[in-house]
Chains A and B, each alone.
Chain A
Amino acid sequence: MREPMYAIRGELKALLLMGALVLFVRRALTVYEHLREGDPDPLLAFPLTVIFPTLLILLLLRMPPTRSREGALMCIGTIVQLTLILLLPGLALYLALGMPVVFLAVELFETRMPRRIREPLVRMAVL
C-alpha cells in the first residue's frame, strides 16, 4: 500500500508566497529611502536580512510532500516565522532564536488541540 503524503494546499502556498514577496518589496523600498538619506547600512544588511529569509521561504514552498502531517505543518510554521522575520526587522534575532517554538506549537496543536477544532484547520492548510 502506498504511504500517504502531505503537502501544503496550493491556495495557502500562493498566499504565503504573496506575503513574502510584498514584504521583500517593502524592505527593498526601505533600503532605497535610507540610501537617499545617505545611510548605506540597510543596503549592506539586505542580503542576510531580506534576501536570505525570502529564499528560505521559496525553498520551503518548493519542498516535496512530507510523509507525516506534522512535517507539512512544521513547514508552514517555519514559513510564517520567516515571514515575521521579514515583517519585523527589529525583532529578527529574537524570532530566529525562538524558531524551536514553532515545532512545539505544531506538536501541541497535533497532540493537545481538540479534534473538532484541529481537523478543519488542518484541512484548510494541508492536502
Chain B
Amino acid sequence: MIAFDLPVPLMWALRWLLFLGPLGAALLLAAANRGQDRKLVGALFSFLYGFALIFATHQVALAMGWWRYGGDVLMMMGMPADIWIGGALLFGPVLYLAFPSAKPVFLVLPIILGLHGTIFSSLKPLVEAGPFWFAGVVVVFLVAHIPAIYLARWTALDQRLPLRAALLALGYGFLAFLVLPSLIMQAMGGGWDIPNQPPWIVAACVPLLGLCFIVGLSAVQMFVLHGEGTPIPLDRTKRLVRTGLFAYVINPMQLSTALAWIVMGLGLGNIWVASASVMAWIFVAGMVRWHHRNDLMVRFPEGWPTYRSNVPEWLPRWRPWCPQPATLRFDPANSGHARFVRWLDRRRADGLILEPHPGGPLRYTEPHESTHFDGAAALCKALNHINLAWALVGAAMLLAILPLRYAFPWRAGAVPDKLAEHHG
C-alpha cells in the first residue's frame, strides 16, 4: 500500500481527469470503431448498466462506511456525479472498446489490485477509505463493472440473449427506480425516508410494486422468447411480439414503469416521484410512437397496424387479442392434464386450440413459431388465454420457471428452443 498526500491543485486536476479522461477515451474509441454498429451499441449498453449499478453499489458502500467522498461539488447522495459518470465510461465502453476480446475478469483484475489496491487510501479528501474498503471495491467490480463489460461483449457478438436481456432489465430497473427518483428528489426535495413512512402504506406498496415489476419483466421475457431481441430498439426484436401481456396492452413496460413511479411516490410520500409517471406518458407520446411509425410500421407493414388497432396503448384489455390460435397439446390419459384442460374450457380460453395427444407432454405452441413450451411453462402460457388476471399469474410463474430451466437445464428438462440456442 502506498500512502501519500496529494497537493490540493493536483487533487482538482485528478477530479477533472477522472471525468474527462474516460470521456475523451470513449469518444476516440467510438470514432475508431465507427461503422461497427453492434460494438457501439454494446458500448452504450455497458455505460447505461454501469451508470445505474455504480450508483446502487456506491450507495451500499456509503451506507456500510466502506468509503466516503469529500467535498460538496456536484454531489448526488454522497457521490460526486462527475466521478460516477467517468467510472461508468471507463469500466464500460472504454475498457470494452480498447480490449474487445479480452476476458472482462482479466481486464479489471490488474486495475483492482494495481490501482485501487495501492492508491485508494491516499486520495483524501477526494475519497476517504473506511474499514473493509477493499471488499467494497471487489463488490462494485463484481456487480457493476464486470457485468457491464460482459454486456457490451455479448451485445456486440449477439450472444447469450437471455443473459444480456436480464442485465439490461437489471440496469433499467436501477436506472428507473433508484437513479431517476434520486435525481428527482435531489431537484425537488424529499428522500428515501422509508422507515418513517406509515407502515401500512409501505406494506401496501410492496406487493403493488411487485406486480408492476412482473408486468415489466414479463414483457422483456416475451421479447426474448418470441421476438429474439431486447426491448431496446438499438438491439431490436426480429419479430413482432403480440403474445403474453402484449396481447392485452401495447406498452406493458412503459405502463409498469409509470405505475411503479406512482406507487413509489405514494410509498415515499413524494408527489414529484409520482409525477414522473407523466414523464413515462410523455416518453411514449414523443419517442415510442415515433419508433412505432418509423420502425415497426416499416418492418411489419401488415402485422403492426392490425395489432395497433386491436390492442390499447395504456389501458389493458380484459380478454387477450389473439389473431391466430395457439395450440395446447395434452395427454387425455393424464389426470392432471385432463383436469387443467377442463378448467381452461370452463373459463373459455380465447385463441387456444386444445389438442389431445396421447402419451405426450403438456406442450404449448404459438402459430408460426418453432418455440414450444413444455410442462409447467406450457401451463403458464395457456393461462395467458383466459383474462388479464390469470395472464399476470402465468407471467409471474413463467418469470421463475424459465430462468431456472435456463440456469439448470440438466435438472429441469425442456428449455424452449430459442433459449437453448442462446445458451452457449
Residues of A within 8 A of B (CB): 40-41, 43-49, 51-52, 55, 59, 67-68, 70-71, 74, 93-94, 97, 100-108
Partner of A100, one of B186, B282, B294: B282
Give the A-B pair count, Cβ closer than 8 A.
73
Lowest 8 CB-CB distances: which A-B pairs, in order?
Answer: A103-B286, A104-B286, A48-B82, A44-B73, A103-B287, A107-B286, A104-B282, A100-B283
Contact call A68/B289, Cβ cutoff below 8 A: no
Which bracket fits the contact residues of B? 20 to 34
Contact call B285/A107, Cβ cutoff below 8 A: yes
Question: In whole angstroms, what is the CA distance A67 to B291 when docked?
Answer: 12
Q: Which of A47, A59, A68, A103 has the most CB of B within 10 A?
A: A47
Contact call B74/A45, Cβ cutoff below 8 A: yes
Contact call B71/A44, Cβ cutoff below 8 A: yes
Q: Which residue in chain A gives the minimum CB-CB distance to B19?
A: A47
Knowing that A59-B27, A97-B279 are A-B contacts, what are 12 other residue pairs whose CB atoms are under 8 Å apart, sorted by A's residue number? A41-B72, A44-B16, A45-B73, A46-B16, A48-B81, A67-B294, A68-B294, A100-B282, A100-B287, A103-B283, A104-B282, A104-B286
Q: Which chain B residues border A55 with CB–CB below 8 Å?
A: 23, 27
Partner of A44, one of B12, B183, B184, B294: B12
Question: In whole angstroms, what is the CA distance A70 to B286 when docked?
Answer: 10
Partner of A93, one of B187, B285, B289: B187
Q: Which chain A residues border B286 with CB–CB below 8 Å?
A: 100-107
Given A47-B82, A48-B82, A70-B294, residue A41 in contact with residue B73 (CB < 8 A): yes
Given A93-B187, A100-B286, A102-B286, residue A47 in contact with residue B73 (CB < 8 A): no
Contact call A43/B12, Cβ cutoff below 8 A: yes
Question: In whole angstroms, what is the CA distance A103 to B319 when docked?
Answer: 33
Closest-CB distance, B126 to chain A (whole angstroms): 10
Contact call B187/A52, Cβ cutoff below 8 A: no
B290 beta carbon closer than 8 Å to chain A: yes
23 chain-A/chain-B pairs, Cβ below 8 angstroms: A44-B71, A44-B73, A45-B74, A45-B82, A48-B19, A48-B82, A52-B19, A55-B23, A67-B294, A68-B290, A70-B290, A70-B294, A71-B294, A93-B183, A97-B180, A97-B183, A97-B187, A97-B279, A100-B283, A101-B282, A104-B282, A104-B286, A106-B286
Q: Which chain B residues border A46 with CB–CB below 8 Å?
A: 16
Residues B78-107 near A (CB distance < 8 A): 81-82, 85
Given A45-B73, A48-B85, A68-B294, residue A100 in contact with residue B19 (CB < 8 A): no
Question: In whole angstroms, what is the CA distance A93 to B23 when docked?
Answer: 20
Given A93-B186, A100-B279, A101-B282, residue A107 in contact with residue B294 (CB < 8 A): no
Question: In whole angstroms, what is the CA distance A67 to B293 when docked?
Answer: 12
Q: Which chain B residues border A71 with CB–CB below 8 Å?
A: 294
Contact call A94/B187, Cβ cutoff below 8 A: yes
B20 beta carbon closer than 8 Å to chain A: yes
Contact call B23/A52, Cβ cutoff below 8 A: yes
Q: Which chain B residues border A74 with CB–CB below 8 Å?
A: 290
Question: In whole angstroms, what is the CA distance A8 to B286 when docked?
Answer: 20
Question: In whole angstroms, what is the CA distance A33 to B73 when docked?
Answer: 17
Q: Which residue in chain A gives the minimum CB-CB distance to B21?
A: A47
Closest-CB distance, B316 to chain A (whole angstroms): 23
Contact call A44/B283, Cβ cutoff below 8 A: no
Question: In whole angstroms, what is the CA distance A100 to B257 when docked?
Answer: 15
Question: In whole angstroms, what is the CA distance A103 to B286 when docked?
Answer: 5
Question: In whole angstroms, what is the CA distance A49 to B289 when docked?
Answer: 31
